[in-house]
Structure 1
Amino acid sequence: MLTTSTPDADGNSCMVSGSSPGVLESQSKWGQYFEDAVAEDTSDEDRAEGQIDSKVYKSFLAACGGTSTVFWICVIQTFWQGFQVASDVWLSHWTSSPDAASNTNFYIAIYSALCLGSVFMVLCRALTVASSGLKASRSLFDKMTNSLLGTTMTFYDNNPIGRIINRYGSDTAVMDTELPYSFGDIAAMFFAVAGSLLTSLAVIQWAGLMFLPILYLYVRISQMYLRPSRELSRLINITNSPVLNFLDEVEHGYALIRAFGAKYVAQAIDRHAHHVNTNSQMSFAKYVVNMWFEMAIQLQGTAIVMIVASGLVFFRPILSAGMVGLAFNYVLLADANMVELVVDYSYLEIRMIAPERILQYSNLQLEDPDASHKGQMMLTQGAIAFNHVQFRYKPTGEYVLQDLTCAIAGGEKIGIVGRTGAGKSSLTMVLFRMYPLTSGSISIDGRDIATIAKTDLRRQISIIPQSPVLFKGTLRQYLDPFGAFDDAALWDVVTKAGLHSLVSGLPEKLSSEVAEKGSNLSVGERQMLCLARALLVQSKIVVLDEATAAMDHDTDVRLQQVIATEFATATVLTIAHRLHTVMHSDRIMVMDAGRVVEFDTPTALLAKED
């Protein structure tokens, strides 16, 4: 990455910065640094191989509505094929009837009714397929979203954002726009082939013997096509993820690239070109395979037309002109339908890769699988105890918290300081149970937090981060997402947070829209909104993670005043670099290399000579 997300001891992303002399020595060394960082940070994307598992088909059909949907599609197709065959047979009878000229209106009326019935069945099929496909797409989309929202943080450490976007983008688009109609086309062609064969057999009995080897050849061609096409389609999806991921990285790290100079900008362009070229190679290879498939199918179809025409010429003495025309039409139609059936099945197999990939992200490991069996807890004091806590982000990584043992009394104000990588933010991560501890335990009010459901625990702890992210919505929805408080309570916390003039000056007041990521608010205003939200729920534990780093002096002072007055009885953990930010604390925790090296009052620490 341009700013890799390999967590340091603070849980922050490690940035490839100009402070590293090895990076600045040469372009090749920077490239190697980049490659090593990415390789360490992410795992290879899982890729299924071979035929699509039958479980994928079952899951998709179940999401479509199950057996009832399949039954109604079969019924509709049966009626449609019946109308199709009946109209053609009626047309053949009409052309051969001696009284056709005198009963023209009668024949036209019957033929028109049969055609209208066929059109009506086509409309019914289209509506059924579209509605069931939309239902399946929404169901699998929701299932994947719920799975991603409930999975562990480790999953996001190992999988770059491009992989997730790829599934929400191209794979979901295939399910929305292509896959349902593939099933509809398969059903239509299956019944069309069956109807054509039965009609042909009724006229020329040897047609069935002829179609068996033809069908076998089509199946063989399809198998030869599917094997490489399936794998290439999977590779296209996989190689598209780095393209999306690189664009996301450039968006967040463009300043870093520009700071390195022109040659590093050129290298970033080369890396993007490499990702695009790799994806294009897979796409071109699949295009070539598709062209071969279409050519092979067309050549075989041409050969069949010649054989059928020769056979009908041979049987001309024993068949009427109308029957020859009907037989020739249906033999050709059966061949064309078989071609379409094989092509549709082949494309269906390729398109089923989309739900296959989405289902991979629909059954992820849950972050808190036993939440329903864990009891609830209402924090009363906010006392925190760390007991021999050891923690690392990866099983083979270095410990970022090492044998950390300390106790914090309820209502105590603690400042946490230390150099970058000391473990300050990692302390916050384990307190919120974002990651499991390697060993040791953390207790709040005497109870091990591992025995508390994560949602219940996090609901009672508030955090004001350095760069808060706000979702698009109204101010009211952000402050009170569950609608548990009235407007009077909302205005009260807005006033206490010093945002009354800002909110009252907006046209819609509390109903005013917050832009994506809160871009229509300053960083300080976003942080004060976080504070207002913490005031609303009256959290017994409040964490300020570098909250004042991006604030101006006045906002910083206002924040400290609110913390001192409104959270007088709450436990407050303040992670900071500015000394004046933590000097008002009851005690200051000094961390280094994941250990607590000093933990005393500000006065006592200042009195030490070292």
Structure 2
Amino acid sequence: MRHDIKKSSRLANSMKISFNYQKGITLRRETKEYLYLVAKGRELAAYSEKQLTVLDDTLSGFDANTSGRCFHALVGDAGILRTGGRAVIMVTHNAQWLPYADQIIVLGQDGKICAKGDLEAVKNSSSYVQEMYKENVVDVTQTPSSKLGQRSSTTATIGMLFWYSFRRAAVQLSKIALWLKHWVAMNKEHPNQNVGTWTGIYMLFAFGQVMFIALGTGYFLLFLVARSAKNIHRKLLHTAFGFVFTIYAPAINTDRDSRAPMSFFITEDTGVIVNLFTSDLNLIDLALPISFVITSERLLATVADIILTCIASGYLAISVPFLAAILFILQRVYLKTSRQLRALDLALKAPLFSHFIATAAGLTTVRAFSWTSTVEKQNTKLLDMSQRSHYLLFCLQRWLTLVLDLIIAASATLLVGLAVALRDKIDPSYLGVALVSVMGLGQTLSSLIIFWTNLETSLQAVSRIKDYTISTPVEYEKLHDDNPRRGDAVGDDWPPRGQIVMSDVSAEYGAQKVLNGINLTFAAGSKVAICGRTGSGKSSLLGLFLRMYEPASGSITVDDHNISSISPPTVRKSIVALPQDPVFLTGSVRYNLDPYALHTNNHGKLWDVLTKVGLRGTVEEMGGLDAQLVVDGFSAGQRQLFCLAGVMLRDGRVLLLDEATSSLDIKIEQLVNQLIQEEFTQWTVIAVTHRLKSVVDQASGFDRVVVLDRGRVVESGAPEELLKKGRGGVFWRMVEMEKN
């Protein structure tokens, strides 16, 4: 078994398929298990020692991106099934795989071979292949991706920044050099006189320079940077997670104009988002202000050094244009390469972050299946990749320092040569100032170019975040009065009855349909169970009620209001949901129990619901309602009961239960069903469940069962009526399968 796991791990790495321990952050639990079983079946087929492999339209259920990766990993030019002289027979209706086949056999409608040969032969002899090839073929090697890490590489440039914060520091630097010149001249006439005075004034100028830099830096960091960084972080937070707040913490006010829809996170790489909140925000908070400060000071210092050097020797000014041209070319080469290396450094960190998050989330599974060594190797590989660009950037900086030192050495040699040749025309005091300035110019120029590049890199982080907030899909438009989508005005008591009507509703994720032509009516106050196999569209149905996804066609009305014309936060506030996995926020017990503060002055109501769910004693042990909520103090069942207590405090008429009892034991499940029966008598309850025993049990109170299969309603009716169908009924077969 361990041998099989190791082989499976190797295949998963080659196919870039994530292990189940990664928990597929954007997938539901049963979907993750299903995908894992599918991937496992592909692995066993790939490592079978049989010389013949038959793939019966295996890739048709995948999206284009996944099918492309799987195809190339299995039967592509370097695929696993291409080795060892194996033969592969692949049944497909997708023309995009035809160019990779050694031989193509086309079957007609009568089951007979109507064409045979390579691609060109069958295209010329079969009109069916010609039609299919024109309509369906795509380049699988160029699979489009919407990942943020692959967005357009927008780069930001400095432009007309204001350098005035440090002009006084540059003046002080010039005064230091000029004071040194006067000191040298005076010491030539009166050796070693008033040394203390000259030294004291010299130190005073140096102290003044430091003070001006400190004042400018302090103001810049404490006021300007803190304010701008806070605004950028808030904008990014609302864009990425504003949707989550409306689901799990709807009382939190977020920027409604920038929230990304749930569908966006199905395809977005979590590591990319983490990279924005770590590397990019770190650049904005730390690297950007420091780089700006040092770049400003170094730029002014460079100008001052060049001016002082030219004053000492007017002939040296002739070399300034040539020096500027060389530095311009050097700066262009360095900046261009450095920008790309910095961007590559950030992009290579995203896979490392994704791998780390996935491993931490599924650590138990990793250990249980002895995947530790494989995960460690993968982490080491990703870590090495993330450091490659950093190493190259370090080498590039060393090269820049060397080239600048050589240029400054040449300038110093030229200066000394001019001083020797024109010794009678150059003031020795000015020559000393020029030598001091030119020797420090190399380090100044090196710092200027390096921190200029760091500044541009930091501004690229601002550009990436801005690009993310602009290009990320918006969940809904601002509800201006002149906006045709501004929505219906509903009162605080909406929905008053809880009647839901679905008219010819279809939904899809990308190009894959998950619901197709749903026509259902949920009467006010009814209790309906939604059943079906994994992937049948049950949770997608509930997601439509909360406007987590928008229907591709059809309409959903709740008490005669089309929810597509009502803002998502209003819908999620009015329709109460109890998810499969409870979510808690940092805060007190009271805040997590009553986030809307509906019962601020009614402590008795809060204690009453806690007593009903059996958690009063546990909360009292924590320290009461105002104590910090310790999630680890609750078991899995108690967490679900706590969420149910919060639901009991809400005002509404529609309750959605998404596998709310799947992780509970029988005793707690019975308690939950009992509370739902007693506390939500006037509510419309729609429950997605796999536990059919509780659906059949009359004590659970379900009036109706809806069975979904592949996004369609295949059965609907009272539980006892569906059971009377016997073997011919889908619900009956599901119940019997659960019994067995």
Same fold (TM over 0.5): yes
Identity %: 24
Q: 1:473-525: CA deviations, max 9, x gaps? A: 2211112224342233322332333322221232x21123234xx33321211
| Partner of residue 499 from structure 1, selected from 615, 618, 633 | 615
Q: Are the structure 2 counterparts of residues 503 and 171 from structure 1 closer, same or farther at C-alpha, using a change threshold of 3 Å?
A: same
Q: 1:45-74: CA deviations, max 9, x gaps? A: 4446778234xx58xx9xxxxx8xx4xx61
* 8 Å Cα contact 2:149-2:272 kept in structure 1: no
Query: Which amino acid letter does the alignment assign opposite residue 211 of structure 1?
Result: V
Separation in 1, partners of 2:31, 2:642? 23
Separation in 2, partners of 1:202, 1:91? 14
After TM superposition, the structure 1 stretch with the greater mean CA deviation from structure 2, 433-442 or 235-244, is 235-244
Deviation at 1:453, TM superposition (A): 0.6
| Partner of residue 497 from structure 2, selected from 377, 381, 387 | 381
Local SS of the residue matching 1:568: coil
Q: How does 1:263-282 map to 2 (within 5 A)?
A: 267-282=374-389
Query: Which amino acid letter does the alignment assign opposite residue 79 of structure 1?
Result: R
Separation in 1, partners of 2:303, 2:359? 55
| Partner of residue 574 from structure 2, selected from 460, 478, 485 | 460
> What's the counterpart of residue 17 of structure 1?
36
* 8 Å Cα contact 1:235-1:282 kept in structure 2: yes
Separation in 1, partners of 2:150, 2:531? 44
| Residue 587 in structure 1 maps to residue 692 in structure 2 | no
Q: 1:200-248: CA deviations, max 9, x gaps? A: 3333223332222112212211212222222222122112111111222
Q: Are the structure 2 counterparts of residues 353 and 523 from structure 1 closer, same or farther at C-alpha, using a change threshold of 3 Å?
A: same
* 8 Å Cα contact 2:580-2:658 kept in structure 1: yes
Q: Are the structure 2 counterparts of residues 532 and 282 from structure 1 closer, same or farther at C-alpha, using a change threshold of 3 Å?
A: same
Separation in 2, partners of 1:368, 1:22? 40
Q: Are the structure 2 counterparts of residues 488 and 190 from structure 1 closer, same or farther at C-alpha, using a change threshold of 3 Å?
A: same
Separation in 2, partners of 1:295, 1:105? 39
* 8 Å Cα contact 2:154-2:463 kept in structure 1: no
> What's the counterpart of residue 271 of structure 2?
162
| Residue 603 in structure 1 maps to residue 711 in structure 2 | no
Q: Are the structure 2 counterparts of residues 283 and 537 from structure 1 closer, same or farther at C-alpha, using a change threshold of 3 Å?
A: same
After TM superposition, the structure 1 stretch with the greater mean CA deviation from structure 2, 231-240 or 289-298, is 289-298
Separation in 1, partners of 2:724, 2:524? 26
Q: 1:573-606: CA deviations, max 9, x gaps? A: 1111222322321111111111111211122222
| Partner of residue 662 from structure 2, selected from 543, 549, 565 | 549
> What's the counterpart of residue 128 of structure 1?
219
Q: How does 1:329-344 map to 2 (within 5 A)?
A: 329-344=436-451
Deviation at 1:163, TM superposition (A): 1.0
* 8 Å Cα contact 2:496-2:652 kept in structure 1: no
> What's the counterpart of residue 94 of structure 2?
none
Q: How does 1:336-485 map to 2 (within 5 A)?
A: 336-363=443-470, 364-371=472-479, 373-377=486-490, 378-394=494-510, 396-397=511-512, 399-485=513-599
Deviation at 1:15, TM superposition (A): 4.6
> What's the counterpart of residue 82 of structure 1?
171
Q: How big is the alpha-carbon RMSD for the aligned residues of Structure 1 and Structure 2?
A: 3.1
Local SS of the residue matching 1:401: strand
Separation in 1, partners of 2:660, 2:154? 52
> What's the counterpart of residue 146 of structure 1?
238
* 8 Å Cα contact 1:77-1:188 kept in structure 2: yes
| Partner of residue 652 from structure 2, selected from 523, 539, 561 | 539
| Partner of residue 226 from structure 1, selected from 327, 330, 335 | 335
* 8 Å Cα contact 2:156-2:459 kept in structure 1: no
* 8 Å Cα contact 1:543-1:574 kept in structure 2: yes
Local SS of the residue matching 1:388: strand
Separation in 1, partners of 2:48, 2:407? 53
Local SS of the residue matching 1:596: strand
> What's the counterpart of residue 238 of structure 1?
347
* 8 Å Cα contact 1:10-1:426 kept in structure 2: no
Separation in 2, partners of 1:49, 1:17? 33
Separation in 2, partners of 1:432, 1:279? 39
Deviation at 1:108, TM superposition (A): 5.0
Query: Which amino acid letter does the alignment assign opposite residue 342 of structure 2?
Result: S
Separation in 2, partners of 1:52, 1:535? 51
* 8 Å Cα contact 1:129-1:181 kept in structure 2: no
Deviation at 1:335, TM superposition (A): 4.7
Q: Are the structure 2 counterparts of residues 557 and 480 from structure 1 closer, same or farther at C-alpha, using a change threshold of 3 Å?
A: same
Q: How does 1:283-322 map to 2 (within 5 A)?
A: 283-322=390-429
Separation in 1, partners of 2:389, 2:199? 54
Query: Which amino acid letter does the alignment assign opposite residue 123 of structure 1?
Result: A
Query: Which amino acid letter does the alignment assign opposite residue 22 of structure 1?
Result: R
Total equivalences in the alignment: 587
Separation in 2, partners of 1:50, 1:562? 54
Deviation at 1:455, TM superposition (A): 0.2
Deviation at 1:189, TM superposition (A): 1.3
Q: Are the structure 2 counterparts of residues 11 and 152 from structure 1 closer, same or farther at C-alpha, using a change threshold of 3 Å?
A: farther
Deviation at 1:6, TM superposition (A): 9.4
Separation in 1, partners of 2:343, 2:299? 27
* 8 Å Cα contact 2:501-2:522 kept in structure 1: yes
Query: Which amino acid letter does the alignment assign opposite residue 202 of structure 1?
Result: I
Looking at both structures, which has the greater relative contact order when contacts are Cα pairs under 8 Å and sequence separation is at least 6? 1
TM-score by length of 1: 0.88
Separation in 2, partners of 1:267, 1:28? 21
Q: Are the structure 2 counterparts of residues 109 and 305 from structure 1 closer, same or farther at C-alpha, using a change threshold of 3 Å?
A: closer
Alignment gaps of 5+ in structure 1: 62-66
Q: Are the structure 2 counterparts of residues 49 and 537 from structure 1 closer, same or farther at C-alpha, using a change threshold of 3 Å?
A: closer
After TM superposition, the structure 1 stretch with the greater mean CA deviation from structure 2, 225-234 or 406-415, is 225-234
